[in-house]
A = this chain, B = another copy of it.
């Protein structure tokens, strides 16, 4: 794991620092998505709030994590697959949010269907969020 973290950071030309290692570790350990608040709680007093904001911003720009849309004024983040890069993301998978436990899961195997859109629109990215009950909660 330690090695994996280093590898991810170096591959993205980021210097290996305490906060980046810790936050990346949180993503690797968690099987769901994380909100800014989650990370702040889990890192405790270890890092400044501002550092968490800036680290997530950096990860997002580098394509290490991707954001997941929600309807409740929060943004969730999850690890991208290996082949995501700064410009081009490949995280066109469906996300599942459990209405009971709140856990958000990347359904990496479920691809978002590219539907037809009438009118003059030029679609570039498709996102799909499914809410319901997860396996543990149903």
The interface of chain A, by Cβ under 8 A from chain B, is 67-75, 94, 96, 99, 107, 109-110, 112-113, 115-135, 138
Contacts and interface: CB of A to CB of B under 8 A. Distances in A.
B117 A135 contact: no
A80 to B, nearest CB: 14
Contacts of A110: 115-118
A128 B127 contact: yes
A124 B129 CA distance: 11
A138 B125 CA distance: 15
A117 B68 CA distance: 18
Contacts of A126: 128-130
A121 B101 CA distance: 13
Nearest to A127: B129
A110 B94 CA distance: 18
Given A69-B70, A130-B127, A135 B115 contact: no
Contacts of A125: 130-132
Nearest to A124: B132
